Structure 1
Amino acid sequence: MNKKKKEQILVGKPLIPNAGVRTWYTKELNDLVSKMDERTRREVLEIFRTVAVKKPQNSHNNTGTVRDYLS
């Protein structure tokens, strides 16, 4: 590597966010995680409700497997 290209490389230290930025970023992340949790919970519950309504094909004593419920 020649000297001119080596001079163009920037070397520095990582940025350390101040407390305000860190607080804002943490709040935004927590809000996103809460929304994802709520959406996932709602979708999973809807799947369980759908599966609970279905009856397994061989259900004389409700001992069907999960595969029976999902088919």
Structure 2
Amino acid sequence: ALAGAVNAWHVKPVGTEGYRTAEVTRGGVDTHELSSQTMEANKQPGLFFIGEVVDVTGHLGGFNFQWAWSSGYVAGQYV
């Protein structure tokens, strides 16, 4: 009964705190699967991943923006 109740439990968000306290998501393309110099996928030449699609997180204050811009710049040099 307990397992059934736990597995049937649904959480429905009723709102957010907005951008004031927003943080990054977690997950994405593993950095070990990418070239750190080109952002190209190790297993699929010609496929590049940048920005928030890559599993990289940073503190609030622009670090994630910097990662997005920097990784895009690096990949752009090889596309």
TM-score (norm 1): 0.28
Between 1 and 2, higher relative CO (CA 8 Å, sep ≥ 6) is seen in: 2
Structure number having the greater helix percentage: 1
The structure that has the greater radius of gyration is 1
TM-score (norm 2): 0.25
